Every structure is written in structure tokens, then in C-alpha cells.
Amino acid sequence: MSDIIKLSAEPRADSGKGASRRLRRMNMVPAIVYGGESDPVSVSLAHDAFAHELENEAIYTQIISLKVGKDSEEVILRDLQRHPYKNRILHADFFRIDKKKPIHVVVPIHVVNAENCVGVKMDGGMMTQLVTEIEVLCLPKFLPEYLEVDATEVHLGDIVHLSDIKMPEGVEIVALTHGEDHDTGILSVVKTRATEEVPSEAPEAPAIEGDEGASEG
């Protein structure tokens, strides 16, 4: 788990589409803070400062200390809406956390040592990452920034499954709590055309009619 990320927001009394449009014209991002025992609170964040923080992958999975006015509370970024083609953030949802209650969070999977993968380096295969993120369940203090899969010893034809991930303390993969049938593959090394088997001996050329005895006489 990385250090707590800090964001600043301002409370807002107005709501609705019209109010949100006015905020966006002022280069602000409308957002909501919800969850826990408190009522939902509408807030706004400075667009450019927020966008800069979003460049850090950890913000999508780690605890955020959100300062609203003079008060701060710990939240996670639960949802983010972006403009379909402009580089603009339209809305954000922040969820309050309880340090004593487990939370569900989707975290990315990082493949390490891909350049040393046996199945690629020695066997000439091609690595394919089948899953890029998974949902985990844990207490906030155990929340991982990401999960690692070591590709070093993955051979041609191998498939790495969810159950093969070395999990941090106190963290479990939600899919695996539903049984072995949900132990899906996340990484594999497969054959490429260059590694297809070639016959060790070329087949004999068929005899051409009339060739027999052509050299006789």
C-alpha cells in the first residue's frame, strides 16, 4: 500500500445538470462523496489539479484523504466520468471508507520480468495477458496498489491462473471466493507461426509418369 493521496475539494449547495455545466465552464469538476453513516455531499474539484493527480495509477486503488472545506475524510475513487473525445473530466464519485470494514476494489495486474520469460526467449512463443485487472476484497489498511505476476518461468503452452498470484497479507481475490470454476487464466504463452512444428524429413516427391526407365537404353 502506498502513501495516502491528498485531494482538496469545495462543498457546493447547487446540483443538477445546469449547475454541473456552470462548474465545468469554470474549469471545475462536479463530484459527490457518499457512503458510511453520513449523508451524500456534493463537492467540486479544480479540474487541472485533479487531472494531474489522475496521472498517478495509484489514485484508482488507494485511499484518498479528501479535504472538503476545513474537514478531511478518507475515501476511495469509486467512479470517474470522462468526455468521450475531449480531454475533460466530467464527474467523480468518492466513497467513504470504514477502516474496520472490508472493501471491494478493482486493482491492476502488472506483469514483471516479461523480457526474461522462458516461453518467449527460449521457446519462441508469444505472451498474451488475458486479464489486466481484478477485484479484490480486504480491509483498507491492506489495500494493494497493484498485483504482480512474474513471467520468468512461464513456458510455451503454460497458463498462469488467478490462484497462481502471490497475494499480499489480508487480501483475497473475489472471483476465487466463488469456487474453482472461477480460477480463470490471466497470462499465457502460445505458439506463433514461427514455432509451428516442421516435419523432420521432407516427404518424397511423387514419381512422374514415364520417368521409369527413361535413362535405360
Prediction pTM value:
0.79
Does 215 map to a domain?
A: no
State what percent of residues in the chain have pLDDT above 70: 88
Phi, psi of 21 (to 5 degrees): -65, -40
Does 214 map to a domain?
A: no
**CA 121/CA 72 separation, integer angstroms:** 50
pLDDT value for 206 = 57
Cβ neighbours of residue 161 closer than 8 Å, sequence gap 6 or more: 183, 184, 185, 186
CA distances from 89 to 9, 37, 68, 83 (A): 15, 28, 19, 6
Instruction: Report pLDDT digits (tens) over 10-66.
Output: 998 777 778 888 888 999 999 999 998 889 999 999 999 999 999 999 999 999 999
Does 130 map to a domain?
A: yes
User: What is the mean predicted confidence (pLDDT) over 125-130?
Assistant: 95
214 — pLDDT class (breaks 50, 70, 90): very low
Instruction: Report pLDDT digits (tens) over 53-75.
Output: 999 999 999 999 999 988 999 99
On whether the CB atoms of residues 32 and 43 are closer than 8 A, the answer is: yes
CATH number at residue 171: 2.170.120.20
Q: Which residue has the cell 500500500?
A: 1
Do 144 and 83 share a structural domain?
no
First CA to last CA distance, the chain: 90
List the domain range (segments joined by +) for residue 70.
5-96
Do 189 and 148 share a structural domain?
yes
